């Protein structure tokens, strides 16, 4: 794909996303926002979808044809902890299942403002505990997530670590929100380049998620605040982020801190890409390439192999 056609494809995606945001006003009910957000994205293609109750948490197994069922990728969707769902992320989960050769367990964690921190984290840990009760060893589980879900995956790893439990084999994170204080340098350096997310919006979402009883600098809310000892003990991480994002620093700074602490983390900043560009595999060649790379990373750490190409 030429640079011109690639830019045009990104512009089309941006227009679609902004059309959704543009309809929302201060008095738009959160239920309407969630419905609008779900409608923005495609369904899961030829993947098999199986609803499951994971210790009281609504989840879905999403499996591309021919994938392994003795390994699992636990997926945590984005949406600022307020929108996003298993429906909005079904295509992304299906593509990741195909790219990794492994079933994906999407977690339908509770959302704010009805359920504030730590509800989403509690649900994630409950789903992970349920998966272990089904016979999956920690080494046979990986985590993946985007945006708020990417940060939530890291929070879950830190929580398991604090409990003294075995950690999953690896984590693949897309545009991860790791700092709810929104202090990263990219809020200024990428402000003009990011067509969607600016710091006031991020701060508002953090406030709605945390409520009055939690602090934004708590490492279980903002994993970037974790200590070097905590970061060193994390499993191998792959972070992908768009170079146009105001939350670019959330990924770059986190990966740097992990490496400085002695852990394993790679951060890939994709030129010209926007927040969670991987959610548009039908429109963006870069999304397909990024998901293929993420799937290969997870497959390598789970001892699996991709079942097929995600897209021609």
Active centre residues (catalytic): 147
Q: The tokens 């003294």 sit on which residue?
A: 164
CB 145 within 8 A of CB 117: no
Q: Degrees (nearest 5) of the Cα angle 293, 295, 202?
A: 80
The tokens of 304 are what?
Answer: 């699996």
Question: Which regions of 164-288 does DSSP assign to beta strands (E)?
Answer: 171-174, 237-242, 265-270
d(CA 49, CA 122): 24
CB 92 within 8 A of CB 280: no
DSSP one-letter string for 134-187: TT--GGGEEEEEETHHHHHHHHHHHHHHHHTPPPPS-EEEES----TT---THH
The burial class, CB within 10 Å (0-12 / 13-18 / 19+), for 214 is middle
DSSP state of 220: T
DSSP state of 236: P
DSSP state of 278: G
Question: Which regions of the chain does DSSP assign to beta strands (E)?
Answer: 48-54, 57-63, 68-76, 102-107, 141-146, 171-174, 237-242, 265-270
| Secondary structure of residue 281 in the 3-state scheme | coil
d(CA 8, CA 284): 10
d(CA 266, CA 257): 11
Q: Phi and psi at residue 224, in whole multiples of 5°? A: -60, -20
């Amino acid at each position: 794909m030429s640079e011109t056609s690639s830019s045009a494809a990104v512009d089309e995606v941006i227009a679609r996303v902004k059309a959704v945001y543009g309809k929302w006003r201060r008095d738009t009910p959160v239920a309407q926002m969630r419905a609008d957000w779900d409608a923005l994205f495609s369904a899961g293609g030829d993947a098999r979808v199986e609803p499951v109750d994971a210790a009281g948490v609504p989840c879905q197994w999403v499996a591309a044809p021919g994938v392994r069922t003795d390994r699992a990728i636990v997926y945590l969707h984005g949406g600022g902890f307020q929108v996003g769902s298993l429906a909005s992320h079904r295509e992304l989960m299906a593509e990741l299942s195909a790219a990794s050769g492994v079933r994906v367990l999407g977690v339908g964690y509770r959302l704010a403002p009805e359920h504030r921190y730590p509800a989403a984290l509690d649900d994630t840990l409950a789903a992970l505990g349920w998966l272990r009760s089904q016979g999956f060893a920690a080494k046979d589980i990986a985590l993946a997530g985007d945006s708020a879900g990417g940060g939530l995956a890291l929070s879950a790893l830190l929580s398991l670590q604090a409990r003294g439990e075995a950690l999953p084999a690896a984590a693949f994170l897309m545009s991860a929100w790791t700092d709810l204080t929104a202090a990263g340098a990219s809020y200024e350096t990428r402000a003009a380049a990011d067509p969607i997310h600016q710091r006031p919006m991020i701060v508002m979402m953090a406030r709605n998620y945390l409520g009055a009883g939690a602090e934004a600098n708590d490492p279980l809310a903002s994993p970037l605040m974790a200590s070097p000892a905590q970061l060193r003990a994390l499993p191998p991480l792959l972070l992908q982020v768009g170079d146009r994002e105001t939350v670019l620093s959330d990924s770059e700074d986190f990966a740097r801190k992990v490496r400085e602490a002695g852990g394993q983390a790679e951060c890939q900043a994709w030129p010209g890409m926007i927040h969670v560009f991987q959610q548009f595999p039908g429109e963006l060649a870069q999304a397909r390439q990024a998901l293929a790379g993420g799937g290969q990373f997870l497959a390598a750490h789970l001892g699996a192999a991709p079942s097929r190409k995600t897209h021609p």
